[in-house]
Amino acid sequence: QVRLVESGGGSVQAGGSLRLSCKASGSVVWMAWFRQFPGQERRGVAAITPGATITQYDDSVEGRFTISRDDATNTIYLQMSRLEPEDTGAYYCAGGGYRLQQGGYPYWGQGTQVTVSS
């Protein structure tokens, strides 16, 4: 019913910035970003409500990453600043869940790779 498509991933030097985008084809409520490091389970990054009235960040990114939302286009963004090699991984967009409770998100994007070089 809902399709999510991420874009904006790539390779950047440590200390640099990237902005990820995710557009949903259908109506969703909460939307979020998750990421997966090689050999590890998927982890929450940031989540946002309709109208961006509430946001939630994982401690590992708070102060460096900013999530935003355009409800008119059902698009969320993740502005990533001061990137570190430890941020390298596959980033996934999710919709229709609650906060960073990934088990409750029914809609997921295909993922986009972020690589940060030292």
- For residues 7 and 43, what is the distance between their CA atoms, to the nearest angstrom? 19
HSE, side-chain direction, 13 A CA sphere, residue 92: 19
- For residues 115 and 28, what is the distance between their CA atoms, to the nearest angstrom? 29
Would you give per-residue pLDDT tens digits along the chain (118 residues)?
A: 789 999 999 999 999 999 999 999 987 789 999 999 999 999 999 999 988 889 999 999 999 999 999 988 989 999 999 999 999 999 999 999 999 999 999 999 999 999 999 9
Are the C-beta atoms of 44 and 60 separated by less than 8 Å? no
- For residues 70 and 55, what is the distance between their CA atoms, to the nearest angstrom? 14
